[in-house]
Chains A and B, each alone.
Chain A
């Protein structure tokens, strides 16, 4: 994902809160999605932001600031099963369906 930047790795402990940031730089942007992928599994849709602000779905929240070309995924009350890769994906009128970031590997420790 050459137009999106997200950290490659994040480590946190059970019960903690972690924020995974994503910045994008492409014109034609119209929305940011987040996906979770466990080792050996397929990506699973988590959330989508088209407008500025916070979207909350249970323990997961996603935020978008279009003026800052920035978004984040917030995971609360971390559980061991949250250990996975998290991808931000940009929906863009110029680049096909979605452009995915390289993913952030989250490791949750006891």
Chain B
């Protein structure tokens, strides 16, 4: 099976702009989670979607949002970008049979200038 794919891989944006990142899970996986990884804060959970519904949400401001489509693909959006949003954004999918196993995509490296 193909792994989790994320697009774009690299992105440079300016403060105040918004950005949309995309994630395609492993075929058959219905759960998609998003994480932010920075050197200072480590890996932090953003949100999880399952069957188009947000199932869990981390402690991030409302500028961070997401959605999931009927084919399980997911997008996350960050509005009004801040310099501190520069990070690696990772998407992970999980199989229904083993929901606690997460398979990560390569990530999107976002740089905000």
Residues of A whose CB lies within 8 Å of any CB of B are 1, 31, 33, 35, 41-45, 48, 50, 87, 89, 91, 95-103
- Pick from A33, A41, A43, A87 the residue with the most CB of B within 10 Å: A43
Residues of chain A within 8 A (CB-CB) of B71 are: none
Nearest CB on B from A55, distance (A): 12
Q: How far is the CB of B46 from chain A (nearest CB, A)?
A: 9
Q: Which residues of A contact B101 (CB under 8 A)?
A: 33, 45, 48
| Binary per-residue interface labels of chain B (74-105) against chain A in the complex, 1 for a CB within 8 Å, 0 otherwise | 00000000000000001010000010111111
Cα–Cα, bound, A100→B44 (Å): 7
**Contact A99–B102 (Cβ < 8 Å):** no
Alpha-carbon separation in the docked complex, A87 to B106 (Å): 17
**Minimum-distance CB pairs A-B, first 10:** A100-B43, A96-B56, A42-B104, A97-B48, A96-B45, A97-B33, A43-B104, A102-B42, A48-B100, A96-B58
Q: Is the CB of A42 within 8 A of B90?
A: yes
In the complex, which residue of chain A has the Cβ closest to the Cβ of B105?
A: A42
* Interface bin, chain B: 20 to 34
- How many angstroms between the C-alpha atoms of A70 and B42 in the bound complex? 20
Binary CB contact string for chain B from 41 to 81 against chain A (1 if under 8 A, 0 otherwise): 01111011000000011100000000000000000000000
Output the least CB separation between B9 and chain A (Å): 11
* A42-B90, A43-B90 known; A96+B100 contact, CB < 8 A: no
A-B contacts at CB below 8 angstroms, number: 56
Shortest CB distance B24–A (Å): 14
B25 contacts A by Cβ under 8 Å = no
Chain A contacts of B33 at CB under 8 A?
97-98
Contact partners of B35 in chain A: CB under 8 A: 100
Q: Which residues on B sit within 8 Å (CB–CB) of A41?
A: 106
Contacts of A42 in B (CB 8 A): 90, 104-107
Interface residues of B in 14-50 (CB under 8 A from A): 33, 35, 42-45, 47-48
Are the CB atoms of B43 and A97 closer together than 8 Å? Answer: no
Bound state CA distance, A102 and B44, in angstroms? 10
